Structure 1
Amino acid sequence: MTETPLRVLVADDSVLLREGLVRVLVEAGVDVVGSYSDGDSLLADLVDLAPDLIVLDVRMPPTFRDEGVRAAIRARELLPDVGILLLSQYVEVAYAQELLSTGSGGIGYLLKDRVASLDELKDAIERIASRSTVLDPEVVAQLLGRRHDPLESLTPREREVLTHMAEGRTNAAIASELVIGTGAVEKNVTSIFQKLGLDDSGSDHRRVLAVLTWLQR
């Protein structure tokens, strides 16, 4: 009996890369049911097309920061069982960690330049579809590197601020609790982000990642 091919959606802002990826996936026996230049367009069709898996570039329009990650997290909210494969030109550990922090399988993070063969890509897709987690070795290495107690570099005051952040307090509430100015809290928060290697993506997710680091200590 012939197996039903996996239904996949693809999103990448580069036409050449997107069409090349679609061709490679088709050659791997995948049914590509849609391709898009941005995450929002993919999300608009997601529920109707009900794919088994989505493949997204990490950085896409309009800001070319973390749109792929944002779209992936939203896709999981809309379709909890959909597999997710993020492709990137670079190791972006904070983004990988954010997606992995959802705590569910069926997630992959691979570097575009290190997908060496069609068989490798097909294997990754099949493993993600079966709810496994597939990470590029370089991503794993950097994730493990971050586990060597990244909080050691924080000052006592920064630890206090981070503790209150973990309790869900706003900067103003932290300032009131510690009897310091809001500006001082903001400086400590900025320093925490820098020391934990949490790049500015233009969103509030760095605060969540900082708290996750505190919880995993």
Structure 2
Amino acid sequence: MLQAHGFEVVAAVESGSELTTSLRELEPDVAVVDVRLPPTHTDEGLQCALGARRRRPGLPVLVLSQHVEQLYARELLADGAGGVGYLLKDRVFDAEQFVDAVRRVTAWGTAMDPQVIQQLPARGAGADRPPARLTPRELEVLELMAQGRTNTAIAARLVVTERAIAKHTANILTKLGLEVSDDDNRRVLAVLAFLDHGR
């Protein structure tokens, strides 16, 4: 599927050790990794990908999982850098959605599975709500932001102006206490703050 959409696949591996070796030796533009790999079949793929990102900061990684695990999403986003994605394996069957996620991650964006984000607002009663008290529209914008969408794409999706989305985004960042910084990807940090609330 990736080759059919113009990607060059430099390696396909079957174990954590092979993944670690390939990421180190081949230095790919992006790694698409299954969370569960032999020999442990637990979270070895994720741990190998995180280790590779520590050795090569910013290595774009798209992790595939059978089930929604918010911890995996938090671990991926923990360094505050872009170039990360977390999708359910079912998304691979939607070629357009899967390829779009790979491209966004390769371009140092973020691609989070909608089901990860959708689970969080449902918990939002009382003390479990984000302390910033995001409005329903701001939560909607943050959900789309977590999927790696730009302000232009979010505006098109919600059928509002880009200026309105810029205002919502600014409000979200302010409410989450994310000050202006040249060093941090504030959109990624906003998503991380939101995911952290799902603990």
Q: TM-score, normalised by structure 1?
A: 0.55
Match of 1:206 in 2: none
Partner Cα separation in structure 2 for residue 130 and residue 68 of structure 1: 22
* Superposition deviation, residue 93 in structure 1: 1.3
Higher RCO, 1 vs 2 (CA within 8 Å, ≥6 residues apart): 2
- For residue 137 of structure 1, what is the amino acid of its counterpart? P
Going from structure 1 to structure 2, the CA distance change for 1:78 and 1:137 (only over 3 Å counts) comes to: same
- Give the number of equivalent residue pairs: 133
Higher-strand-fraction structure: 1
Moved beyond 4 Å, runs of 4+? 143-151
Query: In 2, are the aligned partners of 1:84 and 1:107 still within 8 Å (CA)?
Result: yes
Q: Which runs of 5+ in 1 are unaligned?
A: 1-23, 152-211
Q: What is the identity percentage for the equivalent residue pairs of Structure 1 and Structure 2?
A: 44
Going from structure 1 to structure 2, the CA distance change for 1:145 and 1:68 (only over 3 Å counts) comes to: farther
Match of 2:44 in 1: 67
Q: TM-score, normalised by structure 2?
A: 0.59
Partner Cα separation in structure 1 for residue 121 and residue 56 of structure 2: 29
Q: Which moved more, 1:67-76 or 1:40-49?
A: 40-49
- For residue 119 of structure 1, what is the amino acid of its counterpart? E
Match of 1:101 in 2: 78
Q: Which runs of 5+ in 2 are unaligned?
A: 130-194
Structure showing greater radius of gyration is 1
RMSD over aligned Cα, in angstroms?
2.6
Q: Deviations 1:43-101 (Å, cap 9, x if unpaired)?
A: 11223211000011111122211111101110101221321000111111112211112
Query: In 1, are the aligned partners of 2:91 and 2:98 still within 8 Å (CA)?
Result: no
Partner Cα separation in structure 1 for residue 73 and residue 124 of structure 2: 14
Match of 2:102 in 1: 125
Query: In 1, are the aligned partners of 2:84 and 2:109 still within 8 Å (CA)?
Result: yes
* Superposition deviation, residue 147 in structure 1: 7.0
Going from structure 1 to structure 2, the CA distance change for 1:144 and 1:99 (only over 3 Å counts) comes to: farther
Partner Cα separation in structure 1 for residue 76 and residue 54 of structure 2: 12
Query: In 2, are the aligned partners of 1:93 and 1:143 still within 8 Å (CA)?
Result: no
* Superposition deviation, residue 32 in structure 1: 0.4
Residue 19 of structure 2 is aligned to residue 58 of structure 1: no
